[in-house]
Amino acid sequence: MWRGEQNLRPLSDLGESQAKRFSEVVAAAPIDALVSSPAQRCQQTLQPLADAIGTSIRTLTDLRETGGFAPPSGWAGYMLPSDGPVGGAYAAGRLTHALEEIRGALPEGRIVLCTHGDIVPAYIAFVTGAHGLDLPPLPAQRGYWYTLEIESDGSMAARLNGPIADFPL
């Protein structure tokens, strides 16, 4: 079990195998950008894909791990639970901000984003609720990924993809 700084935690051998298999599947369609959390394991997850398509990985701090949905700085202890809905909403808002920044730099195209398992469900729940979309299921195991399609008119669609065949578990 890793006991150091979470942003410095590397992928395990299994994680490296999973990242390679994920890159093989996702690289089948054109990719215009790769964006990652600053966490080393997220960057390592995208590295096989970056190598395969010959591009670099951009990091955004708004994609960092939430620390268990802690309330935003300055709000902790103000009649709020130590983790929960406010922290989850804040995490979804941070990811929304990151996506707006990415869309500003690349308004068209396919972007692969790697962040954390606590942020993604909070964001998918937020965006589907905010846009009246059907909520895709939560994945039952690793080897799934979400696709969020944002059209130029602002319409959206969200779906769960997978499982990836022969995904190492």
Q: What is the pLDDT of residue 6?
A: 79
CA–CA dist 147, 72 (Å, integer): 27
Q: How far apart are the first and last CA of the chain?
A: 18
Contacts 24+ apart (CB under 8 A), 30-34: 30/110, 31/55, 31/110, 31/111, 31/112, 32/106, 32/108, 32/109, 32/110, 32/111, 33/58, 33/102, 33/105, 33/106, 33/109, 33/111, 33/112, 34/58, 34/111, 34/112, 34/113, 34/114
pLDDT, tens digit, 9 for 90 and up, residues 1-60:
778 887 889 999 999 999 999 999 999 999 999 999 999 999 999 999 999 999 999 999
CA–CA dist 57, 9 (Å, integer): 18
Residue type, 116: H
> By the 8 A CB rule, do 104 and 60 touch?
no
pLDDT, tens digit, 9 for 90 and up, residues 74-85:
766 665 555 677
Q: What is the pLDDT of residue 16?
A: 97
pLDDT, tens digit, 9 for 90 and up, residues 97-121:
998 888 888 888 899 999 988 888 8
Q: Which domains, and CATH codes, for the chain? A: 26-140 (3.40.50.1240)
DSSP string, 133-160: PPPPPPPSSSS-EEEEEE-TTS-EEEEE
